[in-house]
Structure 1
Amino acid sequence: MDIIIQTYQLKKTFKKEVVIKPLDFSLRKGEICALIGKNGAGKSTIFKMLSGQLFPTAGDIQLFGKSGKETAQAKKRMGFMIEAPEFFPDFTAAQNLEYFRIQRGIAEKERIYEVLQIVDLAKQKKKRFRDYSMGMKQRLGIALCLLSSPDCLVLDEPINGLDAEGIMEIRKLLLKLNEEKQISILVSSHILTELQLLATRFVFIKNGVIVDDLSKKTLDDKSKKQIRLKVDDAAKAARLLEQAYPDIQYKILPNHIITIQNYVEESGEINRLLIDSGVLVMEFRIEALNLEEYFLGLVEGVEK
């Protein structure tokens, strides 16, 4: 499979603080890879090194198999949105893109209308940028990334600050670019439930280190199910559970809710044990843990 981005022992130090520890990472053609980490985990630093905004302290970056001086040419096949692009507030979308087209030496003028069509802004001919919603601004940012017809997009927090509708529009747009235009995508966010609907691969980063790298299938398997029950006496229920299952993993939440992380397949027996022992069970269900909970467990070092 073609490797689009490859880093070898990539490291970044600011003053004496090591922000990115030696990092090996690759993005394969066709993937939508989500880079997931809390704010300050090092996501933006990695993206800025890939785009050339920051120089690595050590290590190497290859883009489309090219490294060193040759990466400048390879970068033309990439579209980066690391920070919100600076658009002219009084310009329309087409006027803004025309400015960047000339600045970047892109020959085909009609490319502007193609990308506005792709991001669904073609009908907004007269609207000025300052009157755009946050979602429209993000879509114009992606249109700018697409001007040079890239094979790969690198997007840092493209859904940050968007409402539910804006998030859905960006998700649909990225899926369309991946499926119809075969554009590979590296995207970061901390809105994990969204990424679960988008990405094919999940890379978790904590303090500049990759702590896990999972396919969608593996992640879905790991986002294990748990039992959630609501009882009238959580303390009594917990005692009964510990007596019956010495290695049970559970949490007591507010409002007498208990979640049990193992013994999911024994749910019927657990329910019967509590009822037979005089605990009133008001709610009993099996639910899947979402990516958010899995991720928090991972980056905070708590075993799920």
Structure 2
Amino acid sequence: MGTIIQTYQLTKKFKEQEVIKPLDFSVKKGEICALIGKNGAGKSTLFKILSGQIMPTAGEFQLFGKSGKEMDQAKKRMGFIIEAPVFFPDFTAIQNLEYFRLQRGVVEKKRIYEVLEIVGLENQKRKRFRDYSMGMKQRLGIALCLLSNPDCLVLDEPINGLDAEGIMEIRHLLKKLNQEKQITIFISSHILTELEQLATRYVFIKNGVIVDDLSKESLEAKSKKQILLSVSDPAKSSQILERTFADIQFKVLPNQVITIQNHVESSGEINRLLVDQGVVVKEFRIEALNLEEYFLGLVEEISHD
């Protein structure tokens, strides 16, 4: 698998503050890599260095294995949304993209219609940009990124400010670009739950340092599931559970709630068992520790060092 982005001891200081501490990091071809961190963790700074908006203080990086003079060629294979692109409010999508096509020297005019179809805006020919919903504006931003047929998209907080429907649209679009067009995606957000359903890899950043780097599989293993029960008689329920499962791990919480950490696959049996023994089960659900909780745990752990 080829490497698209590679950094070597990449560092950025603003005055005395080191916003990116020496960073060795790579994004591989085909990944949807999520960079996750609180605001101010260094996400946008890293993206701005990669796009050439700001220069690193030390270290270097390569795009598609190229650096130095060859970097300009490599950049043409990248599409960046670092800040919301500035579109003309009175222009339609086609007029806006035609302006940028000419400005960026994209040869074929038909590419405009192709990208509008890819992002699902082909039926909005007459609508002016100012009448777009937030989700449509983001999709046009991605269409602009796609004009030059890039192999990799770098998207800084593209779902920020979107409603649930807008987030879902962008998520489906990015998955489609990754799976059908084989576009590698490097995306940042502080809304973790959204990236949980999108990314194939999760990189957690705090104060300019990568504190964890997980594949989707490792994350799922860490996001252990548990059973949560609300019962009429916690004491009786505890006895039944201990009698039936020798190695059961559970906690009795306030408000007659019990959480069971293992035997999740026997959830139906556990529910039936309690009901058969006369326990009223008011609530029964399986919940996973989500990415948000995992990340908060990670950040807290680090700040206690």
- The TM-score range, normalised by the shorter chain, is 0.7 to 0.9
- Name the residue aligned to 1:79: 79
Alpha-carbon deviations, 1:43-93, whole Å to 9, x = none?
Answer: 111111110111111111100001123212110000000110000000000
- Name the residue aligned to 1:241: none
- Name the residue aligned to 1:213: 213
Point out the more displaced range, 224-233 or 1-10: 224-233
Alpha-carbon deviations, 1:143-199, whole Å to 9, x = none?
Answer: 000011000000011111111111111111111111111110001112222212111
Q: Superposition RMSD on alpha carbons, in Å?
A: 3.4
- Name the residue aligned to 1:230: 230
Q: Structure 1 residues 112 and 2 mapped into 2: Cα distance closer, same or farther (>3 Å)?
A: same
Q: Matched residues in 1 for 2:267 and 2:112: separation?
A: 58
- Cα distance, 1:118 vs structure 2: 0.6
Point out the more displaced range, 190-199 or 8-17: 190-199
- Cα distance, 1:107 vs structure 2: 1.1
Paired residues of 2:250 and 2:258 also in contact (CA < 8 A) = no
Q: Structure 1 residues 94 and 228 mapped into 2: Cα distance closer, same or farther (>3 Å)?
A: same
Q: Matched residues in 2 for 1:54 and 1:259: separation?
A: 49
Question: 2:11 aligns to what SS in structure 1?
Answer: strand
- Cα distance, 1:265 vs structure 2: 8.9
- Name the residue aligned to 1:111: 111
Q: Structure 1 residues 5 and 232 mapped into 2: Cα distance closer, same or farther (>3 Å)?
A: same
Structure 1 residue 295 and structure 2 residue 295: aligned?
A: yes
Q: Matched residues in 2 for 1:2 and 1:90: separation?
A: 42
Q: Structure 1 residues 84 and 264 mapped into 2: Cα distance closer, same or farther (>3 Å)?
A: same
Structure 1 residue 182 and structure 2 residue 182: aligned?
A: yes
In percent, how many aligned pairs have the same letter? Answer: 77
Structure 1 residue 128 and structure 2 residue 140: aligned?
A: no
Q: Matched residues in 2 for 1:156 and 1:225: separation?
A: 31
- Cα distance, 1:221 vs structure 2: 0.7
- Name the residue aligned to 1:53: 53
Q: Structure 1 residues 15 and 259 mapped into 2: Cα distance closer, same or farther (>3 Å)?
A: farther
TM-score, L = length of structure 2: 0.85
Point out where structure 2 has 5 or more consecutive residues left out of the alignment. Answer: 239-248
Structure 1 residue 26 and structure 2 residue 26: aligned?
A: yes
Q: Matched residues in 1 for 2:42 and 2:252: separation?
A: 31
Q: What amino acid is the match of 2:131? A: D
- Cα distance, 1:229 vs structure 2: 3.6
- Name the residue aligned to 1:243: none
Q: Structure 1 residues 222 and 100 mapped into 2: Cα distance closer, same or farther (>3 Å)?
A: same
